[in-house]
Structure 1
Amino acid sequence: MTVRAAEEEADARARACLTAVAPPGDLWLGELLAEYGAARVWAELVAGRPAPSAPHEEGAPNGPEEASRLERRWARWSARAGRVDPDGLLSDSAEAGIRFVAPGDPEWPGRLESLDLPGGRRSHGLWVRGRGDLRHLCLRSVALVGARAATPYGEHVAAELAYGLAERSVVVVSGGAYGIDGAAHRAAQAAGNTVVVLACGLDVDYPRGHAGLFAEVARRGVLVSERPVRSTPRAPDFLIRNRLIAALTPGTVVVEAGRRSGALNTAAHAAELNRALMAVPGPVTSALSVGCHVLLRDWQAMCVTCADDVVAQVVPLGEEGAGPPRLDAALDADTRRVLDSVPRKGAGTATIAARSEGTLEGTMRALGMLAAAGLVERCSTGWRTPR
């Protein structure tokens, strides 16, 4: 293993552990990671040493009160870090079919870089469950969100939109909740793939009634979370999670929402990230369409009523009829050797690298490209050729 590969592995391991001690999207932790790297931050926490001198937290007032607040936050994280077993965390995740994806990995979605801007709640790492490739699935995607207590009208529209988008090779991303989210996931899964972004550990079925849906999604798509295994959702986690739904896609559609709906929080993130913002109009007598009408009237959201309307907003002109990106047979020699080294039953990245006589870093990069082309897929043992 090269020095660089070892450093990347240590960084990813530290980031995985940090998800067990710090809340997702913490601004101060983001500044610490950018300044010192995850491996050093984690080592300081485990050792119980004071926080390294770090940049001022974006948006927070300077002074003794802020310093005291950050010291208390660091002390809480340090106490939790002492109870984390890194090997146990990673092995328990692997046994549950969950992998950790860190920034820079081949599967890391490039659109999440928009969260790295000053003041942005950047993602420190993602837990992923499922056979799909997260980066590939998000290349041509749209977020479809709405009320949990949806009306029959809302669920019907969500299903029609999701099914139509899946037929056009557009992946639907949503939050896995009851109502609009569930209707969208089920319809998209029937015609294509979908991505579920959760606010809990991926071994925790929340809501419980969607356990079957989540298992079905994992067979072809993916489930994503910033929380490690065994983490139950807390109220703030849902709002923090919503920024991921908006950031992973080039556009967000709100199908049905009340005046104070969480879907409007996702819409706000989409607007802040300069993503396309769309809303479906509803009956003027329905309280669950008030939020959509506010978006149309005050937020300049685009009015959409069918899948073609959505595709026109999120798919570049001239690519409307295109399917997911695929590589042709003209692979370069190194990538071809990696592909030829992937067995039908599956093998780990290190095994494939040894068989192809390549470096671990180069093999990971090649596997990411091959996964985006649909020529390999993830499995419980690593990577395999599609059946």
Structure 2
Amino acid sequence: MVEPGDELIGAWLRRLGPRGVLRLLAGSGEPPSEVSAERMAGYRSRAAELAPAADLADVEAVGGRFVCPGDREWPRQLDDLGDARPIGLWVRGRPSLRIWALRSVAVVGARACTDYGAHVAATLGAGLAETGWTVVSGAAYGVDGAAHRGALGAGGATVGVLACGVDVAYPRGHAELIGRIAEQGLLVAELPPGGHPTRSRFVLRNRVIAALTRGTVVVEAKYRSGSLVTARQAQKLGRFTMGVPGPVTSGLSAGVHKLLRGEAALVTDAAEVTELVGSIGDLAPEGRGPVVPRDLLDPVSARVLEALPAWTGADPGRIARGACTGYDDALAKLYELQSLGFVERHGERWQLARYPRGSGIDRRGGP
């Protein structure tokens, strides 16, 4: 009878319950003062065309079911939407939506994404799935599809939240992908079987993605992007909001960068995502460059090595002065460095080794 996210109906459901709202919408009495006669006539006109038993039969025929508040499978985090909470959800797939949603992350972004965006989304989807997280997205072209494929490719869990019925493959180019999600994961929709998507329904679908998950990651988005709607809804609900940076010259990353200048967290891989949305101890590994043998030298040895000229040799006295250490200490360290392959001795003079294997030393004077 009503479009997704209708807050007026949500308020009536809260006050009157579903049976009371059904009687109100299907009846012929005077409409409540807060709704116009025209709007009530629209509700009642649609009510006359409904066939709920046929809808239930249609969803059962594709292996689906209807889940509503109060059912064991209902994800209670959706209640955070208040009066905009879905009246119920059509679910297609074998797993429990409530269980899968407890440990889930949304990965959303541009439909016309770049190769970079598709690669990042697929990598995030696979990485999250491999660590036991459910990847939630909208099954659209671009970033959504890449995130789903990454999760499916890793043999993990993924949920597609649709702006149409769960028996409708939209976009048509993703018919195979949507079929794989239904077989291996879950498809979720507010519209009954056969429901078709509209622009407004895509926007309203985003609030379900934001509320269902612990956090939302945006991978590539322009300033005017539905993905930013999802991110802002997640922020409003107190969920984690994250963004993957892109080139500053790319318009497809402009919306993400604007998000990152606000309250969103910058992430680059699945480990950084799970560090934010996971439990205590789910820490991302510390990022650092490669360790070369020179990094393992003690401070005095490092100073002695730095004191050697780049192109010519030097006597121990000069090297000791350059390293700010005593003659004997410098000589001892030079012998140590020789045994490690960093330096060579030529008579009374010492110089950098010609080919210091794995030392990180460039004979021209730099590491």
TM-score (norm 2): 0.75
Report the equivalent of 2:217: 253
CA distance in 2, matches of 1:319, 1:37: 42
Alignment length (residue pairs): 283
Report the equivalent of 1:302: 265
- SS of equivalent residue, structure 1 residue 243: helix
1:138 aligns with 2:101: yes
Of 71, 91, 99, the residue aligned with 1:105 is: 71
C-alpha distance after superposition, 1:302-331 (max 9, x if no partner): 00001110001101213679xxxxxxxxxx
Report the equivalent of 1:30: 10
Report the equivalent of 2:121: 158
Larger radius of gyration: 2
CA distance in 2, matches of 1:275, 1:29: 25
C-alpha distance after superposition, 1:126-158 (max 9, x if no partner): 111111211111111101000000000000001
Report the equivalent of 2:238: 274
Report the equivalent of 1:122: 85
Residues 204 and 229 in structure 1, CA contact (< 8 A), matched pair in contact too: yes
Residues 144 and 173 in structure 1, CA contact (< 8 A), matched pair in contact too: yes
Report the equivalent of 1:367: none
CA distance in 1, matches of 2:77, 2:24: 30
CA distance in 2, matches of 1:88, 1:128: 16
Deviation at 1:97, TM superposition (A): 2.2
In the superposition, relative to structure 1, how do residues 190 and 50 fare at CA in structure 2: closer, same or farther (>3 Å)? Answer: farther
CA distance in 2, matches of 1:242, 1:162: 18
Report the equivalent of 2:52: 86
C-alpha distance after superposition, 1:160-183 (max 9, x if no partner): 111001000011100110000000
Spell out the pairing of 1:1-387 with structure 2 (5 A cutoff).
21-51=1-31, 53=32, 67-68=35-36, 71-116=37-82, 120-191=83-154, 192-297=156-261, 299-318=262-281
- SS of equivalent residue, structure 1 residue 209: helix
C-alpha distance after superposition, 1:346-385 (max 9, x if no partner): xxxxxxxxxxxxxxxxxxxxxxxxxxxxxxxxxxxxxxxx
Give the stretch that moved more between structures: 158-167 or 214-223.
Answer: 214-223
CA distance in 1, matches of 2:221, 2:170: 21
Report the equivalent of 2:334: none
CA distance in 2, matches of 1:48, 1:216: 46
What's the Cα RMSD here? Answer: 1.5
Residues 110 and 142 in structure 2, CA contact (< 8 A), matched pair in contact too: yes
CA distance in 1, matches of 2:172, 2:68: 28
In the superposition, relative to structure 1, how do residues 50 and 127 fare at CA in structure 2: closer, same or farther (>3 Å)? Answer: farther
Deviation at 1:220, TM superposition (A): 2.6
Residue ranges of structure 2 left out of the alignment (5+ in a row): 285-367
- SS of equivalent residue, structure 1 residue 124: coil
CA distance in 2, matches of 1:212, 1:48: 46
Residues 218 and 243 in structure 2, CA contact (< 8 A), matched pair in contact too: yes
CA distance in 1, matches of 2:125, 2:58: 34
CA distance in 2, matches of 1:284, 1:240: 30
Residues 138 and 249 in structure 1, CA contact (< 8 A), matched pair in contact too: yes
Residues 272 and 283 in structure 2, CA contact (< 8 A), matched pair in contact too: no
CA distance in 1, matches of 2:12, 2:40: 11
CA distance in 1, matches of 2:62, 2:126: 29
Residue ranges of structure 1 left out of the alignment (5+ in a row): 1-20, 57-66, 322-387
CA distance in 2, matches of 1:249, 1:300: 18
- SS of equivalent residue, structure 1 residue 253: strand
Q: State the one-letter code of the partner of 2:104.
A: S
Deviation at 1:43, TM superposition (A): 2.6
In the superposition, relative to structure 1, how do residues 320 and 193 fare at CA in structure 2: closer, same or farther (>3 Å)? Answer: farther
Deviation at 1:50, TM superposition (A): 3.4
TM-score (norm 1): 0.71
C-alpha distance after superposition, 1:263-321 (max 9, x if no partner): 11111101110111100000111110101110111x22100001110001101213679
Q: Which runs of 4+ in 1 moved over 6 A?
A: none
Residues 275 and 282 in structure 2, CA contact (< 8 A), matched pair in contact too: no
Q: State the one-letter code of the partner of 1:36.
A: L
Residues 44 and 50 in structure 1, CA contact (< 8 A), matched pair in contact too: no
CA distance in 1, matches of 2:207, 2:52: 27
Report the equivalent of 2:364: none
Q: Which has the higher contact order (CA 8 A, sep 6+)?
A: 1
CA distance in 1, matches of 2:283, 2:69: 30
CA distance in 2, matches of 1:186, 1:148: 14
Residues 271 and 283 in structure 2, CA contact (< 8 A), matched pair in contact too: no
